Structure 1
Amino acid sequence: MTSILAASTLALPLRARATNGGGSAKVISTWDFGVAANQAAWTVLSRGGSVLDAVEAGARVPEADLANHSVGKGGYPDRDGIVTLDASIMDGDGRCGAVAALEHIAHPISVARRVMEQTPHVLLVGDGALQFALEQGFDKDNLLTPEAEKAWREWLKTAKYAPVINRENLDYRKSLPGGKDNHDTLGLLALDASGKLAGACTTSGMAWKLHGRVGDSPIVGAGLYVDNDVGAATSTGVGEEVIRNAGSFLVVELMRQGRAPQQACEEAVRRIVKKHPDGAKKLQVGFLALSRHGEVGAYAIQKGFSYAVCDAQKRDRLLESRSVYST
């Protein structure tokens, strides 16, 4: 096992700079499916759209991808065979909205935005979130796809819960047989040319979870946090550990104290590892951060956390983050 110090020297370059003020726009997001999400967000920004419109548009792409089993309509269900979705959205002025354990609505990120803009609340859950979505004109849909139902029925033969680390990484997925347990998140952060920030986070949560389980994605400060004065952060992996550490808020606060995004992500991950010195070897949590100047940071417990970067200079880069463990 490679030490933390040694592992950090083996990673790909992470940081990209953008000028502040009249600077360069940038979009970053988690995992290989973030590439398509970034493209949708970039299209909005390039046409002069708002950074909030950009992150919503980006998040809707994996939500609509039926081949994506950890986000949106294609997501795997809980152990009762019910697909429930979580999402949050936030801008750099502190406005935010979220939904959790939402059934029958294919785009929870858009419902989360309506919560932010049309209610005095931040988070709606379960039946109340569904009621609100229907009142707002969202279409009711059957989220359990034939492929997801087939995987669920196969899982019922053993009913064993054993998430596979990094199954969201495209190269890693290619080496695995189909039907493996899967959980993860699309976290997307965007910076426009005027220096405004926004973020979105959306997931179907852990496959085969207990009905009603909610992870970090819809919890502002855990799965997502954005502050125009500092930067933005999002998380991926086992949400319970992110919630316990208020992970994305922690990353932004470390940046506020003067740490670069890379340093902030590393510190947040190491705090989790410190609390689980043995169990961390079987645990994946990663953080992705973007400063108000356009600097990028990413760090994870395990090797294999990929993230996508899109900007005017080098469009559509897929990179692998540094990690505590290299094997």
Structure 2
Amino acid sequence: MDSRRKFLKKIGAGSLLLSLPPIYAQQAKVLSREVNKPIVLSTWDFGLKANAEAWKVLSTGGRALDAVEQGVRYTEADPTERSVGYGGRPDRDGKVTLDACIMDENANIGSVAALEQIKHPISVARAVMEKTPHVMLVGDGALQFAQEQGFPLENLLTEASEKEWREWLKTAKYEPVVNIENHDTIGMIALDEQGNLSGACTTSGMAFKMHGRVGDSPIIGAGLYVDNEVGAATATGHGEEVIRTVGSHLVVELMRQGHTPQKACEEAVKRIIKFTESRKKTLDNIQVGFIALNKQGEYGAYCIHGGFNYAKYDDAGNQLISSPHYLI
């Protein structure tokens, strides 16, 4: 009897789909698929430890927003991770300046850029989102706000980072190298048990950058974007190229058009390549990678050069995955 009921249910569902206009039939198919949740993705191998922190929130039914904040805070506090937070490489003036942004399922956003002496810019970004009428604070204004919110001042320049900076000063020449962690970021996106998406992105930016330089990481739509109806994406690599294409927003919009997360990341990278070639620039020293997650818990990634990896944590466990890439 149970088998007969299941059969009739399938027939009825199929008939309903056939009777719907194509766009609504496609939406009905999406809704009928089993959702892989909760799930969290983050960039690079340090994402494994960050994911583990985020999973503590997600696995107990917590909110994706709390998960991504807690996850990237772990990396911000680790002095051995030289491109994020405490221990990040300084700018050419020897100052560690941090950028971060955060976005929740309701399109609430917060961001800080060129923030000094504060270990957890992601939490300051969240405070901007929740406690001010603004979406972005920068430089001295961001620092003033952070202090007003009770964030302690700390020296973020570690001995190892200062030593590297002083060595760099001998030539004072900036030469980006693909996939060394002088321009990398931790970006994290998550889908919680309630089916809501959120994301966070935090970085110390390019090593030895010009003082005041801001990349894509704190810019909503470039380094991070979340649309709770569709999906979320985040970027890593050369921020100028991501800003040029509003990369993470592009990935999400491609998913809205029906692309899988994998295909959306591929198309966004190809857009960057097209823009680069149209400007008569070489790809030799340009690396950009995207990761994406949709409402079904499906995910994907793509980059220009090989060497980019990302971490995925769901019910199957915490796993490091090598991203497919454009150039061999």
What TM-score do you get using the length of structure 1 for normalisation? 0.88
* Cα root mean square deviation, aligned: 1.5
Which residue in 2 is equivalent to 1:129? Answer: 142
Q: Does 1:307 align with 2:320?
A: no
Instruction: Write the mapping of 1:135-174 to structure 2, written as runs, cut at 5 A.
Output: 135-168=148-181
Q: What is the alpha-carbon distance in structure 1 between the residues aligned to residue 101 and residue 217 of structure 2?
A: 6
Q: CA deviation at 1:48?
A: 2.5
How far the C-alpha of 1:41 sits from its partner, in A, is 0.3
The equivalent residue for 1:24 is 37
1:319 pairs with 2:297: no
Paired residues of 1:25 and 1:190 also in contact (CA < 8 A): yes
C-alpha separation in 2, matches of 1:81 and 1:239: 20
CA contact (8 A) 2:36 2:298 kept: no
Whichever residue aligns with residue 43 of structure 1, its letter is K
- 1:229 match: 229
Which amino acid is the alignment partner of residue 110 of structure 2?
G
Where does residue 296 of structure 1 map in the other structure? 299
Residue 72, structure 1, aligned to residue 119, structure 2: no
Whether 1:40 aligns to 2:53 is: yes
Following superposition, the deviation at residue 101 of structure 1 comes to: 0.1
Runs of 4+ with >3 A deviation: 17-23
Gaps of 5+ in 1: 1-16, 169-181
Q: Which runs of 5+ in 2 are unaligned?
A: 1-29
Partner Cα distance (2:275, 2:253) in 1: 20
Aligned length: 296
* Cα distance in 1 for residues equivalent to 2:37 and 2:240: 35
The CA distance in 1 between the partners of 2:58 and 2:162, in whole Å, is 37
The structural deviation recorded for 1:297 is 1.0
Cα shift at 1:18? 12
Displacement of 1:167 in angstroms is 1.7
**Contact 1:20–1:292 (CA<8 Å) still a contact in 2?**
no
Cα offset for 1:231?
0.2
**SS state of the match for residue 232, structure 2?**
strand
Provide closer, same or farther for how the CA distance between residues 253 and 209 of structure 1 changes in structure 2, counting only shifts above 3 A: same
Larger Rg: 2
Shift of 1:93: 1.4
Query: One-letter code of the match for 2:216?
Result: D
How much has 1:128 moved relative to structure 2?
0.2
Of the candidates 127, 131, 150, which is equivalent to residue 118 of structure 1? Answer: 131
Q: After the TM superposition, which residues 226-305 of structure 1 pair with which residues of structure 2 at under 5 Å, given as runs?
A: 226-277=226-277, 278-305=281-308
Pick the structure with more helix per residue.
2
1:80-127 CA distance string (max 9 Å, x none): 000000000001210110000000000000000000000011100000
- Cα deviation, 1:28-66, whole Å, max 9, x if unaligned, reads 000000000100000011222211110000010110010
Q: How does 1:95-106 map to 2 (within 5 A)?
A: 95-106=108-119
